[in-house]
Amino acid sequence: MISLPAPTMAIPKNLFKLQPDSMPTEKDADPYGDILFFSRKSGWIITKLEEVQEMIEEYNCTHWTWTPETPPADNYELDSTRTEYLRNTGWLKD
């Protein structure tokens, strides 16, 4: 029987360890001041840049990355069926 070392997994270029030399800065935050943090117990958490220390201490976050870009707005007119449905359900007011 041969024992092989466990493979090492490369971290993607846009995923950073929370270490003193790789902490997120204001230029890394999105327009709302948010950063995406990763915790093994909670998964991905979006929070304000100012809460980095809390993310490390309370949530045991180990990595960070940028938040994804906001999708573009839908630029279409509501068709009559959709408009009627939204009016009937109270979501659209005249």
Residue 74 domain-assigned (yes or no): no
Residue 29 domain-assigned (yes or no): yes
CB 64 within 8 A of CB 38: yes
Distances in whole angstroms, Cα of residue 51 to Cα of each of 10, 23, 55, 80, 90: 27, 12, 6, 46, 38
Q: Based on the structure, what is the number of domains in the chain?
A: 1
Residue 92 domain-assigned (yes or no): no
pTM for the structure as a whole: 0.63
pLDDT tens-place string over residues 30-75: 888 999 999 998 899 999 999 999 999 999 999 999 988 776 656 5
pLDDT tens-place string over residues 7-35: 555 666 789 999 999 999 999 998 889 99
Domain range for 58: 16-69
Residue 4 domain-assigned (yes or no): no
Residue 58 domain-assigned (yes or no): yes
Residue 36 domain-assigned (yes or no): yes
